[in-house]
Amino acid sequence: MSITAITHLNFHGNARQALEFYQAVFGGTLIVRTYGDFGAPQATPLANQVVWGQVVADSGFQLMAYDVPTPEAAPATQPTTYREHGMTITQAPFFIALRGEQPNELLELWQQLAVEATIIEPIAQSPWAQLFGMLTDRFGVTWSFDVA
């Protein structure tokens, strides 16, 4: 048996912009299908929103996303950051962890995702990794980076 876990993100009207941004960062193929493609009346705002979208890169990176049809259907997933005992603690419902073997690869991804992002933990050497950092991108998704 073979199983792959793929991150699937929920958005509220900006899934296409997020998927296009992630394709620009990670490369690969972008596939987007709208509610209109599946029969939603073209005169409704929902028609142009994403019912299914995916980015698949040659590197193995995969990400799926869609626009939640009603805001109540999926709560916001903004992280909470606070300081305790001199440490910055971040709590969020989830992170997307990017782990690589080459520091330069991760630094390049960091620089692209960091545009208009909130830096939670600047990318730097840490006691447990050659590089570690965390940010929340402009779409509200929190990313953790480390070198294996």
Domain residue limits, the chain:
7-73, 80-147
Query: Does the pLDDT at position 24 exceed 90?
Result: yes
Instruction: Inform me whether the pLDDT recorded for 96 exceeds 60.
Output: yes
Residue 101 makes CB contacts below 8 A (sequence gap 6+) with 147, 148
- Choice between 29 and 36, residue whose per-residue pLDDT is larger: 29
Residue 126 has pLDDT above 90, yes or no: no
**What would the pLDDT profile of 46-58 be if each residue is shown by its tens digit?**
899 999 999 999 9
Q: What is the pTM of this model?
A: 0.80
Confidence check: pLDDT of 9 > 90: yes
Q: Which CATH architecture has domain 80-147?
A: 2-Layer Sandwich (3.30)
Secondary structure element (H or E) that encloses residue 25, with its range:
helix 15-26
Average confidence score pLDDT of the chain: 86
The partner residues of 134 in beta bridges, in order of sequence, read 121, 144
7-73 with 80-147: one CATH topology? yes
Angle at 22 between CA 73 and CA 146, to 5 degrees: 100
For residue 142, give both structure tokens.
């929190």
Segment 80-86 shows an average pLDDT of 59
Residue 133, φ and ψ in degrees, nearest 5:
-165, 160
CATH 1.20.58.1610 fits 7-73, yes or no: no
Token couple for 71: 């805001």
